[in-house]
Amino acid sequence: MKMKKYYASSIPEAMKLVRAELGEDAVILNSKVVVTKKFFGLVKKKSFEVVAGIDKMDPSNMAPAPTATLATPQSSKENASLQEITNAVQAKIHPVQPKQDTTLQEEKGIPEELRKEIADLKSLMQSMHKKTTQAQYPDELLPFIEYLRQQELNEELITMIGDELFMHFKEAAEINFSQCKLITKNLLRKKLEGLPIGGLTYERKYINVLGPTGVGKTTTIAKMAARAVLEKKKKIGFITTDTYRIAAIEQLKTYAGLLQAPVEIAYNATDFEQAIQRLSHLDLVFIDTAGRNYKEVKYVDDLQRLIKFDDQAESFLVLAMTAKEKDMTDIIDQFKQLPIEKIIFTKIDETNSIGTMINLMIKYNKGLAYYTNGQEVPEDIEEAEIEEVLNLFFQGEEK
Ligand SMILES: Nc1nc2c(ncn2[C@@H]2O[C@H](COP(=O)(O)OP(=O)(O)OP(=O)(O)O)[C@@H](O)[C@H]2O)c(=O)[nH]1
Ligand SMILES: [Mg+2]
């Protein structure tokens, strides 16, 4: 049997060396962590020693496959953690990819019970995938990976970032948090760059503001409208189709009164058409809609019948950052039939994790118009910019 020792900064790296030199049939005979000292002993560096062998004479007599032998069955603590790494390496060699989220559209027609089982399986696989990501990186990277997870960035993006950082730092004596941040920002920037990001274009007259109940549609309209009047000197008006609650009409009238702008109330499509005619002399018309449980597709159909989604209109979907990501994805799926280019995320002041914003933009290829960070009108709103989103993502790290 030919035997050789390999040293690398991680077990996966060592496995690469073994495979490259001894081939796929090599057997791992032992593995342990070794600490080497650099710069007169001032800097300690952890690396992994792997002893591998291959029986070249008689392949049928070869020791059990690496899966079984990579970590020898010793009971020391060090080897227990190596076993975890081993499992991770095996998972990497034979990856079990978590199933991608399918849209509700694709899942339609699947019986409820089966759909629930699929959902359970999905979350089980996601948690397995999470453990794998946890184990595949050196300890020094884990606090950074944990930060990404706290920000609720999805596992797919975490793996992309983790792999890049791992490649970058594999030869380094220590891992620098601000460098990790820089690399991560570059990766996320590349992913976000192609998306439409920024506030109102002021090129389309009608601004449709849509979204579930209580997310902050009316308040956000008031903030956008105030900017249009005060900063851009636009002549504006409002149409509300939220006729379900008296208070909703009064709320919009209060803001309109402050801006001295007209409000039209549309109970049906005919009223809406007449309101459009009456406000045709204005530069911009903000259209407030009723918050509904948009998990029910009929409410999206109602919207489509009531208001206009033509090339004179710009449509925004408002989502509150306090909601669960899964619920937000369901809503975006439901709105697929409408031409929504950009999202407005509200209530970012009520959360410390910004990852969901980035996950959804990337997953759905949707731009970002504004994010709002408080109840004060008109000040608590920011026009979106990629750099600001990236800064927000790392804001929690400074706290
Ligand atoms: N903390 C916080 N609260 C907000 C923000 N935006 C809106 N709100 C609050 O959220 C609540 C609901 O706001 P609305 O503007 O009435 O929400 P809506 O989507 O129009 O609600 P419906 O018309 O009932 O569907 C109000 O108390 C707002 O002050 C925000 O950015 N941060
Ligand atoms: Mg409202």
Any atom of ligand 1 within 6 Å of the Cβ of 292: no
Domain that holds residue 226: 206-398
Residues 276 and 375 in one domain: yes
Helix (H) or strand (E) holding 34: strand 27-38
Whole-model pTM over 0.85: no
Residues 26 and 78 in one domain: yes
Mean pLDDT to the nearest integer, 14-32? 78
Mean pLDDT to the nearest integer, 97-103? 41
Q: How far apart are the C-alpha atoms of 69 and 66, rounded to whole Å?
A: 5
> φ and ψ at 3, to 5 degrees?
-125, 150
pLDDT of residue 17: 86
Domain final position from 145, 163, 192: 192
Residues 88 and 128 in one domain: no
Residues 70 and 116 in one domain: no
Instruction: Give the largest CA-CA distance in the chain.
Output: 91
Flag the least confident range among 81-90, 114-123, 301-310, 327-336: 81-90
pLDDT of residue 25: 77
Q: What confidence tens digit (pLDDT) does each residue in 43-98 have?
A: 456 677 777 877 754 444 333 333 333 333 333 333 434 344 334 433 433 344 44
Residues 336 and 270 in one domain: yes
Q: How far is CA 280 from CA 85, 157, 224, 362, 396, in A?
A: 66, 46, 19, 36, 46
| Most informative mutation of 375, 377, 379, 392 for ligand 1 (most atoms within 8 A of CB) | 375
- The answer to whether position 236 is within a domain reads yes
Structurally, how many domains does the chain consist of? 3
- The answer to whether position 394 is within a domain reads yes
Q: Which residues surround ligand 2, an ion (CB under 5 A)?
A: 217-218
Residues 246 and 360 in one domain: yes
- The answer to whether position 222 is within a domain reads yes
Tokens of 313: 């209109």
Q: What angle do CA 172, 175, 181 make, to 5 degrees?
A: 125
Mean pLDDT across the chain: 81
- The answer to whether position 315 is within a domain reads yes
Residues 121 and 212 in one domain: no
- The answer to whether position 57 is within a domain reads yes
Query: What CATH number is attached to the domain comprising 312?
Result: 3.40.50.300
Residue with more model confidence, 130 or 146? 146
Any atom of ligand 1 within 6 Å of the Cβ of 213: yes
Residues 225 and 350 in one domain: yes
Residues 35 and 121 in one domain: no
- The answer to whether position 197 is within a domain reads no
Task: Report the nearest atom of ligand 1 relative to the CA of 288.
Answer: 20
**Helices and strands: H and E segment counts in the chain:** 16, 11
Residues 254 and 225 in one domain: yes
Domain final position from 64, 93, 122: 93
DSSP strand pairing (342-346 vs 263-265):
unpaired
What's the 350 CA to ligand 1 centre distance in angstroms? 12
Q: Where are the alpha helices (DSSP H) in 308-354?
A: 325-334
Domain final position from 192, 220, 255: 192
What's the 245 CA to ligand 2 centre distance in angstroms? 9
- Most confident option among 1-10, 52-61, 72-81, 101-110: 1-10
Beta bridge partners of 5: 51
Residues 35 and 140 in one domain: no
What's the 222 CA to ligand 1 centre distance in angstroms? 11
pLDDT of residue 170: 79
Mention every residue, 6+ apart, whose C-beta is less than 8 A from residue 40. none
pLDDT of residue 363: 95
- The answer to whether position 313 is within a domain reads yes
Mean pLDDT to the nearest integer, 371-395? 96
Residue with more model confidence, 352 or 209? 209
Residue with more model confidence, 116 or 313? 313
Tokens of 294: 């948009």
Residues 148 and 235 in one domain: no
- The answer to whether position 199 is within a domain reads no
Mapping DSSP to helix (H, G, I), strand (E, B) and coil, where does residue 106 land?
helix
Reply yes or no on whether the pLDDT at 318 is more than 90.
Answer: yes
pLDDT of residue 159: 93
